[in-house]
Structure 1
Amino acid sequence: MDKQNILLIYTGGTIGMIKDAHTGTLKAFDFDSLLIKIPEIRLLDCSIETVSFEEPIDSSNMNPNYWQAIAKIIESNYNDFNGFVVLHGSDTMSYSASVLSFMLENLEKPVIFTGSQLPIGDLRTDAKENLITSIQLASLHNNGIPIIREVCLYFEYKLYRGNRTTKINAEHFEAFDSPNYPTLAESGVHLKINHEFLRKEKFEEALIVRTKLDTNIGVLKLFPGISEPIVKAVLETENLKGLILESYGSGNATTDAWFINQLGKAISKGLHIINVTQCSGGSVIMGQYETSSQLKEIGVISGKDITTEAAVSKLMYLIGYNIKPEEFQFYFEKPLRGEMT
């Protein structure tokens, strides 16, 4: 078979830094000299090209404009490459992987996000393994057909579905987890691909890139003693169209009359409120307990086992495309890219 063509997209982040041997300061890595800095890449049976943001950014500055830029790079190069590896800072990587999964409709090629906890030039870096294995995973194919055909995230020997991930540690190399969905692949002496968990959809239509996102949303995390003025201020935020409500356990919240009334009033005015759990794993099951049955009655939408990162992304995506109010709950509670069970 012909060599697979892989495009590396560098957005910024720790993985793209090297330490100046004289000053000790970190500076951006020139990815045009990738093969010189990481000669092991020559052993991979693929051809690699690179493209970088004109000004690489810290992932804390990631926003919809940069998401659109990543999506457009993939769109314009889609027919010329077999897979894509996006190098990204780890802090907001789960958000970016989630939103790209919604933006890239009918995706039939791998888009793998990766990064590192230590710069690529550090003696103890995790960057080389993450980068090399991500490229290898993006190159996997069966008779020219990519084995992985979705947006993923690779970190510390594990490949995850991107919109199922969350960052769990700022210090350890094992920085990510996928609490409600199994790993797609594991890297050891051999690459173990968990084929049964991969997306296998085949699409008749070509790739469609959806770039409309509406950022007029918010996240409200409940805590014991939360006050009415705080909740009211959030719900009455100007131009607010959607709200992620981080509730307790399986979707529970206080049953105080003022709280239920405030939410009900906001929903009646057209605000979409999504119930997700604060727990790292598990699912919202509204109506299981009395403390969630009232939320269901007033029209709060169940986020099921979606992560907050994916809920934020999906809410921006659906509001951006002006889904009809009477259909909004149906589309949010329906898995669109494997983001919920």
Structure 2
Amino acid sequence: MPYSKIHINPISPEPTSGSVLVIYTGGTLGMVYETKGRQLVPFNFDQIIERVPEISRLDFAITFLSLPEPIDSSNMNPAIWIELAEIIGSNYDQFDSFVILHGTDTMAYTASALSYLLENLNKPVILTGAQLPIGVARSDARENVITALELAAARNEQGNPIISEVCIYFNSNLLRGNRSKKKESSDFNAFHSENYPALATAGVRIEYNLPYIKPFLPGVELVVHKSLNTQVAFLKMFPGISPEVVQAVMNIPDLRGVVLETFGAGNATTDIWFLSTISRAIKNQIVIFNVSQCDGGRVAQGHYQTSKYLQQAGVVSGSDITPEAAITKMMYVFAIESDYQNCVEMLGKPLRGEMSI
């Protein structure tokens, strides 16, 4: 099915801040009440100005593009991440910035995946959405969309974009995409970034936290990666986890890697059966990536005896990476690299600002 496009020109005859491509994937934001009854249904984006009239007052050109079949973000998958990366890549020279309207449940996964797929990104890619549908009077959709557009269009004194990375904008905060996590399901302040400062805060004015924003790099060429390897898994530690559970995960056919969600600073049980299973998996060239269950702080393998054994076995420390950024990083790394040791080295260092050294 073809993509649906809507072009919105600014009030002034010559836009002052370039052009923005808005990609609608689905989610809560694009829902309205149907004429008869009280059921929420997706609204036709041809009516976007009726729903958000403020858009027509922005001083830059906007093009809305809707996926052929908008989806609930719970149905988001790597194939759509690649499709989004390809849309951005094919339109990269025609537009100055990009905004993606996305459901909140998997937004942090999508932002993380896109940060890896879009190598050498030098333009803003800002994801946003809403906790309440745009058809609800108290919806947060309008403010999120308008401010995301303004952030995407923002330029510095040299005329370069202030933002040149994948971000999430939500409830007045602009966050690095691969540092973000959905923390609230019933609060407007849905997204947090515990281990990295907000890149900007939108109040009466937009205040930019420039030291933490990826700098604009003139002359670099965008590389769009078009594959992800999904032979990965999560294994979350909990008191009483059984050998059968751990072994079932480690024995998945063709498994390449496991994100091991550990306690505190990277700690796990020291039971012999567990350490033996981990060691055997690593000898079979399954990469184990240690990520803390805590939202803040970081993995410090070897700091406690319970994590020293993991370090000795060859488990890779995830430092302060989020689980969302960790699992998508594995998909990306395994798609471009087949050598086990090279994969270990790539996972253990920051590629797109997703973790601290």
Q: TM-score range by the shorter chain?
A: over 0.9
Structure 2 residue runs of 5 or longer lacking an equivalent are: 1-14
Runs of 4+ in 1 over 3 A off after TM superposition: none
| Cα distance change on mapping 1:260 and 1:209 into 2, 3 Å | same
Deviations 1:48-87 (CA, angstroms, capped at 9, x unpaired) = 1011111100000000111111111101111111110000
Residue aligning to 1:286:
301
The match for 2:221 among 202, 206, 209 is 206
> Cα offset for 1:204?
3.8
> Cα offset for 1:203?
5.5
Tell me, yes or no, if structure 1 residue 111 matches structure 2 residue 125.
Answer: yes
Aligned Cα RMSD in Å?
A: 1.1
Tell me, yes or no, if structure 1 residue 22 matches structure 2 residue 6.
Answer: no
Tell me, yes or no, if structure 1 residue 38 matches structure 2 residue 52.
Answer: yes
The match for 1:331 among 346, 351, 354 is 346
Identity over aligned pairs, percent: 48
Residue aligning to 2:337:
322
> Cα offset for 1:334?
1.1
> Cα offset for 1:3?
3.5
3-state SS of the aligned residue for 1:339? coil
Tell me, yes or no, if structure 1 residue 253 matches structure 2 residue 248.
Answer: no
Alpha-carbon distance between aligned partners in 2 of 1:322 and 1:93, rounded to the nearest angstrom = 26
Residue aligning to 1:11:
25
Alpha-carbon distance between aligned partners in 1 of 2:62 and 2:326, rounded to the nearest angstrom = 33
Alpha-carbon distance between aligned partners in 1 of 2:187 and 2:220, rounded to the nearest angstrom = 42
The match for 1:48 among 62, 72, 75 is 62
Residue aligning to 1:120:
134
Residue aligning to 2:236:
221
Structure 1 residue runs of 5 or longer lacking an equivalent are: none
The match for 1:233 among 240, 248, 251 is 248
- Count of aligned pairs: 341
Alpha-carbon distance between aligned partners in 1 of 2:220 and 2:127, rounded to the nearest angstrom = 25
**TM-score for the superposition, normalised by structure 1:** 0.98
Task: Output the amino acid matched with 1:82.
Answer: D
> Cα offset for 1:202?
1.3
> Cα offset for 1:24?
1.4
**TM-score for the superposition, normalised by structure 2:** 0.93
CA contact under 8 A between 2:17 and 2:155: conserved in structure 1?
A: no
The match for 2:166 among 148, 151, 158 is 151
> Cα offset for 1:264?
0.2
Residue aligning to 1:138:
152
